[in-house]
Amino acid sequence: MGEAAQTPGRPAPEAGAGTTPEALAVIIPAKDEAQRIAATVASAKTIPGADLVMVVDDGSSDETAARAREAGAQVVTHRKNRGKAQAMITGANAVRNREISQLEPGQRPRHRALLFIDGDLEDSAANTAPLAGPVLAGEADATIAILPPQKRKGGGFGLVVGLAARGIEAQSGFVATQPLSGMRCLTREAFEATQPFAAGWGVETGMTIDLVRAGMRVQEVECDLHHRVTGRDLRAVLHRAAQYRDVARALAARKLASRKNRTRP
C-alpha cells in the first residue's frame, strides 16, 4: 500500500515524467444527488490546490445541477443518464475546454490534475486531499483512495471485489486493496492512457490495469471517507450482478487485447 506500481519487467517512468500539474480540477459525476451534492461541492472546494470543481449531472431527475451551481461548481449536464464512465469523460473534456477557452494569445493551457470523487461524500469530500498530494508533487501519475481498515467492510458479499482484485493482479501485477474505489487522482497523461474506458461498472478495474500496463506510477492512499453503502435487498443484488458483469467484461477485453499485442510481429 502506498507504493508505486509498474508493469512487471517494464522500466518505470522517470520521476516527474510528463508535465507536473500546476493545479487541481475536482470532477464529480452525479445522478440524483440533490440532497448531498451541495455539501460535497463545498467540501471539495477546500481541497488544497483545487481551483475548479466540475459537476457532471448525469441525467438527474432532481435538482442536482441547480444545487451544485448554487454551491459554486461548474456544471455540465447530460439530458439522459449515460453512466459513470461517460460522465468522467465529459468532466475531463469540460475541464480541458475551459482551460483552452481562457487562454490569452501565446499562452499554453493550464495543466491540472484530475481528481474524480463521488457526489455523495458530503463533508468528507475534503478528505480526498491526500490523493492530490503525490500527483501535484510529481511523485505519482495516479492515486487511488482506500478506506481505513475499519471502514472497508460494506454491505456486499465480496464477489465483485474479489473478481476485480484477482483480475487486476493477474493482468498487471498490481495488488489492489480496494479495486472498485472510484476516488482517483490522475495527471492528464495518465487519464489519456486509460482511454477508451471500460463500459459501465468496469471503469475502475479497467483504469487500474491500463495505468499499470502503460508504466504509470500508481499509489493507493488511505482517505477517511463516508458515503452510502449498498445493502442486501433485491435492488442491491441486481446492482451487484450488473457490477460483476461489467467487471468481467472489462477483464476479458483487456486479456484479449494483451493476447493480440503479444501475437503482433
**Tens of pLDDT along 65-101?**
999 999 999 999 999 999 999 999 999 999 999 888 8
Within a domain: 52: yes
Residues in the chain: 265
**Tens of pLDDT along 187-216?**
999 999 999 999 889 999 999 999 999 999
The confidence score (pLDDT) of residue 202 equals 94
Within a domain: 18: no
CA separation (Å) from 131 to 19, 26, 65? 18, 11, 26
**What CATH number does residue 87 fall under?**
3.90.550.10
State phi, psi for 95 to the nearest 5 degrees.
Answer: -65, -50
Burial of 192 (0-12, 13-18, 19+ CB in 10 A): exposed
Question: Hey, what's the cell of 19?
Answer: 508535465
The confidence score (pLDDT) of residue 200 equals 87
CB 88 within 8 A of CB 114: no
Average pLDDT of the residues of the chain: 87
Q: How far apart are CA 197 and CA 86, in angstroms?
A: 8
CB 95 within 8 A of CB 52: yes
Range of the domain at 49: 23-263
Angle between helices 234-263 and 159-172 (to 10 degrees): 10
Work out the percent of the chain whose per-residue pLDDT is above 90.
70
Strand segments (E) across the chain:
23-30, 50-58, 74-78, 112-116, 142-146, 184-186, 218-222
How many domains in the chain?
1
Handedness of CA 137, 143, 19, 112 (dihedral sign): negative
Within a domain: 105: yes
Within a domain: 209: yes
Within a domain: 118: yes
Within a domain: 11: no
Q: How far apart are CA 82 and CA 58, in angstroms?
A: 6
Within a domain: 3: no
